[in-house]
Structure 1
Amino acid sequence: MANRLAHATSPYLQQHADNPVDWWPWCPEALAEAAERDVPILLSVGYAACHWCHVMAHESFEDDEIAAVMNANFVNIKVDREERPDIDAVYMSATQAMTGQGGWPMTCFLTPDGKPFHCGTYYPPAPVHGMPAFRQVLDAVAQAWSDRRDELAEGAGKIVAHIAEQSGPLREQTIDEEALTAAVGKLRQETDPGYGGFGGAPKFPPSMVLEFLIRHYERTANPAALSIVELTAEGMARGGLYDQLAGGFARYSVDGRWIVPHFEKMLYDNALLLRVYTHLARRTGHEGATRVATETAEFLMRELRTPEGGFAASLDADTDGVEGLTYVWTPAQLAEVLGDEEGAWAAETFAVTEEGTFEEGASTLQLPADPDDTERWQRVRETLLRARDRRPQPARDDKVVAAWNGLAITALAEAGVALARREWVDAAAEAARLLLDVHDVDGRLRRSSRDGTVGDAGGVLEDYACTAEGLLALHQATGDPEWLTEATRLIDDAVDRFAADAPGAFHDTADDAEELINRPSDPTDNATPSGASALASALLTASALAGPDRATRYRSLCEKAVARAGALVMQVPRFAGNWAAVAEAMLSGPLQVAVVGDGEGRDDLLATAARRVPGGSVVLAGTPEDGDVPLLADRPLVDGAAAAYVCRGYVCERPVTTSEDLVRALAR
């Protein structure tokens, strides 16, 4: 018999709909039930692509005896962290404060009014490696609630107070040329000199840090910045982190050499990395970066696009409960598909060995070096991919998350222009239309939808900011003023509803959002840009597009927000990559390029600008008649010919009419 999760819009919650656990979704009724029964809340937080979430579900939540204990002693609430990042953030802070670490599944025990008194992550069904069994934890918590409730309540109050103390705004600190140069030096010291990236295992793709370093190199020609980018981009693209057959990146590498991934594929990683490889290809002309950008965009289009035109959240780490089952190969399997000779060549090319690099003698596919015979390589890849497609496939979490679709819209619009792939721009526009038509309810943005049905959770700051940034990218790619109008509306709403009392600081939830034990406000960039840094980026881009009347206000708001992140950039630049990238664009202007005219002349100038501008710049093409597009206003043709205007702060240099002159103008 299905529980209360059967009608949830979240695929993760629906995965637990048939558990014997009497699950509730997070709602006021669940908290009221705990108060009426006078029992604690067991809060379990995870997401659909999470391997260890599946493990704990199979081991414990599907077990009738464990479920009976949970049902008798707790009100059990299941939360999809991707659908409710606010709840996840609040209780992850508590988990980290209590245990010194965090992760998913996250398991928290709360008082009926939501205060945490005991937190952890995964619990096994039997004691192992010093971890207690989940049943032992349940019994101990239930006993403590019965015998020492006052003590638990007092501890919960201290945790809530601690979280509140840690969540105040950072002090203002200017990010200037010296600070950004120092950040590059610190990143260089922390870079793995052999394989790129930062730290050891596990190793995550540092997409926003790479974007910052590309922009820094473009502005300063500092070779140290570019060397970090090229080393890391090469390492990720040649390792098992990257899908050598179908394109797209896995979430992270479990080793320090990018060989063995944690196999889940997330929309946000691939959107952010598409942008990085596009900008690297644009800056260096590197064929490998162009190939990876193209394949990653095609992965998004082929495997994550939904029937409604949005992009799905993720592909699962597991296939039929086995991690990596779809993706790994043995030499014998290669020979079975390709024949002995081609199989041996493929094994050498993709570093597939008898010993294996993964489990049970299987290997992930790598590409240590570019093959000499590219035609053979492409033929082998296509044959292996067709064979792999006949294997069982990982499940797809097909909910559409506004923020992550905003990241994908930005990346596809930029890549579509830079690499002359109009179909990517069209796909970005279709996703944007879905967000505006489905997620925008009564003028307020909702977090997620599935199958065209919007969820109940309100949008958080990153939803507004990343969606706005995507619409601004579309405005540049298409010249359509509607995207600019909708973007500035979202930006204005975000500034009004998410601002904190301190100038330049922002909360992650709106002023009328559900009141939790703390109003989250995390400025650090992690797997995705923080909501505040994403808003700063949108403000800066909008200041260069929305016209002089709004430019000053948006620029001022951006500068105040960036100043709040100064300490992060200087002390922990690995977790402030997007902030640093915004600061770089501020120092560069940002540069504005307006191309007016039509026909081949305009297309040549636009293509040149798209290839040559530094990251964070804005490029827009149209005709002099596009008076409702601020950047194109009062930009006439030159002697009847298409022209390009290179501007900063809407103050433009003399227009140029040839690609050669535009290259020289952009180099100044």
Structure 2
Amino acid sequence: MNNPKRSTSKNSYNHLKNEKSPYLIQHAKNPVDWYPWGDEAFEKAKKEDKPVFLSIGYSTCHWCHVMAHESFEDHEVAALMNHVFVSIKVDREERPDIDSVYMTACQIMTGTGGWPLTIIMTPDKKPFFAGTYFPRESGFGAIGLKDLILNVQDIWNDNRGEALNSGDQIYKALQDVSKTVKGPELDENVLEKCYDELSKVFDNENGGFGDFQKFPTPHTLIFLLRYWKRTANKHALYMLTKTLDSMAKGGIYDHLGFGFHRYSVDKFWLVPHFEKMLYDQALIAMLYTEAFQATGKSNYKEIAEEVLTYVLRDMKSSEGGFYSAEDADSEGVEGKFYLWTMEEIQDILGKEDTKFVSTVFDVKEDGNFSDDYSHESNNKNILHLKYSFDELNDILGMETDKIQEKIENIRLKLYNERKKRVHPHKDDKILTDWNGLMIASLAKAGQVFKNSKYLEAAKDTADFIIKKMCTNSRLMHRYREGDADITGNLDDYSFLIWGLLELYSAIFDTKYLKTSIELNKTLINHFWDNSNGGFYFTSDDAKQVLIREKKTFDSATPSGNSVELLNLIRIARLTEDYELESMAIKMETTFSRNILRSLTGHTQFINAVDYKIGPSYEVVIVGKPTNPDTIQMLNSLNKHYLPNMVLILKDPDNPGDLDEISESLKFKNSIDGKTTAYICGSGSCKKPTTDVVEMLKLLEQ
């Protein structure tokens, strides 16, 4: 091999200089001659007859940082990469369409995936090698990046046919993944089987599922809540509450500043992967809100409110949207911002309170977790609650309210001291899909907790997205520094529609209901597969990556198709548009074979099936919004856990444009001038009532 020229000065920029993504900007001064995804890079690869090195990650990813520091900032590795490849950097959060296609390719080729995602492909975008993190040097049976580059160069120069053939095979496999074969409609047996499968992998001792890493997966836990609501199955409720309690006590929860870290690397919920993602906060806060509504347990309300405190305090932009994430690392060390030594705590609190903290938060002189993960000395502690309050009553000889008061005083002292540390990096881009989830979560919490602050925040965010990221019912995916860009995908539409439907149900401003209906029309017009049913991830007029994917599998967030299935059913019931109901059924049969092959990977889809099976209800309250009887009816509905319900409030003196949304609304009026509830469900309507107790009885039938 000819010796590659040494890469450019570390003070010069590569082709990422003018990008908006914080992740791409982090790599703009790498000696690797990175390009953003686009025609320029692929034309260069064709012209120079080079393979493409694609690296996908995100700004708060710990192992992305490690690979960057070890290899992409190293001039020797960069020189090799620049000689052999045209190199492209992609922010997976900014371009989930690219990430999804090549992550699927990685899983096909290796059986696993993760970030940083490393793909080597032909200039026509067909992958022939895939992996995740690679160290700089080979060792311990693993190939290093330097050797990998040289191996690929040899293959490209001497055995290119093998690489091209592999690329063609993977391309065909990717096409096959999105193919669907029509199956049956799903019935109640699916709910039973999904519950049975979750029961088999439930961790009775620690909560959660499996015996290794633990992810919150709120959509799966919400399935258990709905299943319990339908069946009164006590074990389903136990699985839910055990998991919620364990998560809230564990190190995965930030007990000082609030909010949940992404996942725990152990089965005990103790040692987290320390990054904080907006979508996790949104979905988990919604989960705890619904759990409070269903069980009445005040600690679930407290956790939901604490999570929202964190989001509103640390993640809200001045313009109204919410930022994406906070890093796991600070000062180059994962978790450093969150970890404590006993000595540090004693310097702040004194001996007596440190003794209390040691008991309550399991703080130890030599640390309370393995140091392999932190790369720090072994005297670090992750604050977590080792005991329940009932146990602490006996251990400390104190009443619960006194313990809680003391914990709060200590929390504030430690939190204020922690604020002086170097904070983790914040990814300040605003994403439509994740903000849609946040709108839904805030609206639900505002409705259930009667908290106007949450409702105002949800409105602010919805107004921001509609004003800054939406034109003629077409959405943009990413906003940063005044720039809205990247064509909206399925998740952007389905998640925002969900948020707007929840917001309407909480404040009854028809603007948000009408916007959700218009966005749904856009989604159908540009994403629906007219031949086979279901929604593609990208629109018909977006520039396609390699294939046009159509997926249902839930990941850390529920799939766009699953969310949209429930959106279709809810909008159909609100508007009496039965074509949407038929579309939902076609969608169900399109994907049912996929669902049946992996029930626990499709819990959000199954939640929509639960709604379709029923009983589910359409409720119209006719009354003045400020009338005490109207307020009493709405408050009574909000106190009860009624997940399979859509709700409309009609002001009899000022119906506005509600009558345009649903034909029958014009015939629903108050009886004898009193606030009146109209309840329909399962193909029939009940007799309207002005009595709150009677209304609730009709909803429990």
TM range, normalised to the smaller chain?
A: over 0.9
Distance in 1 (alpha carbons) for counterparts of 2:522 and 2:235: 40
1:273 deviates by 1.0
Match for 1:47: what amino acid? Answer: Y
- Please point out which of 322, 334, 338 is paired with 1:323: 334
Other structure's SS at 2:17 match:
helix
Q: Tell me, what secondary structure is at the counterpart of 1:448?
A: strand
Deviates more, 1:650-659 or 1:59-68: 650-659
When structure 1 is superposed on structure 2, of 506-515 and 233-242 the one drifting more is 506-515
Q: Note the C-alpha offset of 1:40.
A: 0.9
2:412 is aligned to 382
CA–CA distance in structure 1, aligned partners of residues 25 and 211 of structure 2: 36
Alignment of 1:542 onto 2:568: no
Q: Is the contact made by 1:331 and 1:344 (CA closer than 8 Å) also made in structure 2?
A: no
Alpha carbons 1:466, 1:538 under 8 Å: kept: no
Supply the distance in 1 between the matched residues of 2:227 and 2:26 (Cα, whole angstroms).
44
TM-score under structure 1 length normalisation: 0.96
Equivalent pair of 2:339/2:381 in contact (CA under 8 Å): yes
Deviation at 1:339, TM superposition (A): 1.3
Tell me by how many angstroms 1:210 deviates.
Answer: 1.0
Among 416, 432, 436, the residue aligned to 2:462: 432
Contact 1:111 1:153 in 2 (8 A): yes
Q: What is the one-letter code of the residue matched to 2:455?
A: V
Whether the 8 Å CA contact 1:544–1:590 is kept in 2: the answer is: no
Distance in 1 (alpha carbons) for counterparts of 2:46 and 2:151: 20
How many angstroms apart in 2 are the aligned matches of 1:122 and 1:524?
Answer: 24
Counterpart secondary structure, 2:16: helix
1:508-527 equivalences under 5 Å are: 508-527=537-556
Quick check: 1:592–1:650 contact (8 Å CA) kept in 2? no
Select the residue among 548, 562, 580 that pairs with 1:533. Answer: 562
In structure 2, give the amino acid aligned to 1:563. Answer: T
* Amino acid in structure 2 at the alignment position of 1:587: I
Give the CA deviation at 1:148: 1.4
Is the 2:180–2:591 contact (alpha carbons within 8 Å) kept by the matching residues of 1?
Answer: no
Cα-to-partner distance string for 1:88-131 (whole Å, 9 max, x where unaligned): 11111211122121111011111111111111111101223321
Contact conserved, 2:517 with 2:571, CA < 8 A, in 1?
Answer: yes
Shift of 1:570: 3.8
Shift in Å, 1:647: 2.5
AA in 1 matched with 2:693 = E
- The alignment status of 1:67 with 2:78, answered yes or no, reads yes
- For residue 656 of structure 1, what is the aligned residue in structure 2? 689
Name 1:217's counterpart in structure 2: 228
Correspondence for 2:57: 46
Give CA-to-partner distance per residue, 1:543-569, whole Å, 9 cap, x none. 222x22x2x111111222233343444
Q: Secondary structure at the residue paired with 1:20?
A: coil
Q: Structure 1 residue 10: deviation in Å?
A: 0.8
Q: Deviations over 1:48-83 (max 9, x none)?
A: 111000000111111111111111221110000111
Residue number in structure 2 paired with 1:81: 92
Please list the CA deviations of residues 235-256 of structure 1 after superposition, one character each: whole Å capped at 9, or x if unmatched: 1111111111222111111000
Which amino acid is 1:505 matched to? G
CA distance in 2, matches of 1:492, 1:51: 40
Q: How does 1:548-587 map to 2 (within 5 A)?
A: 548=576, 550=577, 552-587=578-613
The Cα of 1:357 is off from its aligned counterpart by 3.0
Counterparts of 2:139 and 2:694 in 1: how far apart (Å)? 69
Q: What letter is aligned with 2:22?
A: P
Shift of 1:171: 3.5
Give the secondary-structure state (helix, strand or coil) at the position aligned to 2:672: coil
Q: After alignment, is 13-22 or 146-155 more displaced?
A: 146-155
Matched, 1:36 2:31: no
Q: Is the 8 A contact 2:617 2:681 kept in 1?
A: yes
Amino acid across the alignment from 2:420: R
Work out the CA distance in 1 between the residues paired with 2:590 and 2:580.
16
Is there any run of 5+ residues in structure 2 with no aligned partner, and where? 1-11, 372-377, 393-399
Secondary structure of 1:491 counterpart? helix
Percent identity at matched positions? Answer: 37
Pick which of 606-615 and 413-422 moved more. 606-615
Match of 1:417? 447
Moved more, 310-319 or 160-169: 160-169
Question: Equivalents in 1 of 2:643, 2:244: separation in Å?
Answer: 17
Alignment match, 2:673:
640
How far residue 170 of structure 1 moved from its aligned partner, in angstroms, is 4.7
My pick for the range that moved more, 565-574 or 76-85, is 565-574
Aligned residues: 664
User: 2:392 aligned with 1:369, yes or no?
Assistant: no
Q: Where do 1:82-101 residues align within 5 Å?
A: 82-101=93-112
Letter in 1 for 2:442: L
Contact 1:180 1:570 in 2 (8 A): no
Aligned 1:235-246 pairs, distance under 5 A? 235-246=246-257
| 3-state DSSP of counterpart to 2:647 | strand
Shift in alpha-carbon separation, 1:167–1:570, aligned structure 2, 3 A: closer
**In the alignment, residue 554 of structure 2 is paired with which amino acid?**
D
Query: SS of the counterpart of 1:127?
Result: coil
In structure 2, what is the equivalent of residue 464 of structure 1?
Answer: 493
Which residue is 1:260 aligned to?
271
Q: Indicate how the Cα distance of structure 1 residues 619 and 383 shifts in structure 2: closer, same or farther if over 3 A, else same.
A: farther
2:130 counterpart SS class = strand
User: Does the aligned pair in 1 maintain the 2:676–2:689 contact within 8 Å?
Assistant: yes
Instruction: Give the counterpart of 2:240 among 229, 251, 256.
Output: 229
| Pairwise CA distance, 1:664 | 2.4
Give the match for residue 507 of structure 2. Answer: 478
**Cα deviation, residue 198, structure 1:** 1.0
Q: Name the stretch that deviates more: 470-479 or 216-225.
A: 216-225
For 1:350, the equivalent position in structure 2 comes to 361
C-alpha separation in 1, matches of 2:682 and 2:17: 53
2: CA distance, partners of 1:103 / 1:525: 15
Q: Does residue 330 of structure 2 align to residue 314 of structure 1?
A: no
Matches for 1:557-636 after TM superposition, within 5 Å: 557-597=583-623, 598-624=626-652, 625-629=654-658, 630=661, 633-636=666-669
Cα distance in structure 1, aligned partners of 2:641 and 2:189: 23
CA distance in 2, matches of 1:285, 1:596: 28
Q: Does 1:163 align with 2:182?
A: no
Instruction: Return the alpha-carbon distance in structure 1 between the equivalents of residues 330 and 644 of structure 2.
Output: 39
Tell me how far 1:576 sits from its aligned partner.
Answer: 0.6
Q: Is the 8 A contact 2:67 2:133 kept in 1?
A: yes
Alpha carbons 2:614, 2:682 under 8 Å: kept: no
* Residues 651/382 of structure 1: CA separation in 2 closer, same or farther (3 Å cut): farther
Deviating more after overlay: 162-171 vs 579-588: 162-171
How far does residue 501 in structure 1 lie from its aligned partner after superposition?
4.7
Deviates more, 1:558-567 or 1:270-279: 558-567
Q: Distance in 1 between matches of 2:582 and 2:368?
A: 52
More divergent stretch after superposition (383-392 vs 53-62): 383-392
Question: What is the distance in 2 between the residues matched to 1:649 and 1:4?
Answer: 58
Contact 1:215–1:585 (Cα < 8 Å) also in 2 = no
* Alignment gaps of 5+ in structure 1: none
Conserved in 1, the CA contact under 8 Å of 2:475 and 2:488?
yes
SS at match of 1:272: helix
- Alpha carbons of 1:526 and 1:167: their partners in 2 closer, same or farther (altered >3 Å)? same
**Which one-letter code corresponds to 1:618 in the other structure?**
V
* Distance apart, 1:431 and its partner CA: 1.0
Whole-angstrom CA distance in 2 between matches of 1:304 and 1:650: 44
- Letter of the 1:265 partner, please give it: K
- What letter matches 2:606 in structure 1? A
C-alpha distance in structure 2 between counterparts of 1:474 and 1:444, whole Å: 20
Deviations 1:285-344 (A, max 9, x none): 011111111111212111111121111111111112111111122222222221111111
Q: Is the 8 A contact 2:278 2:323 kept in 1?
A: yes
Q: Per the alignment, in what secondary structure is the counterpart of residue 594 of structure 1?
A: strand
TM-score of the pair, normalised by structure 2 = 0.92
1:172-226 Cα offsets, whole Å, 9 max, x none, are 2322112211211111111111111111221111211111111122122222321
Q: CA deviation at 1:572?
A: 2.3
> Tell me, what secondary structure is at the counterpart of 1:203?
coil
2:194 alignment partner in structure 1: 183
Is 474-483 or 256-265 further displaced after alignment? Answer: 474-483
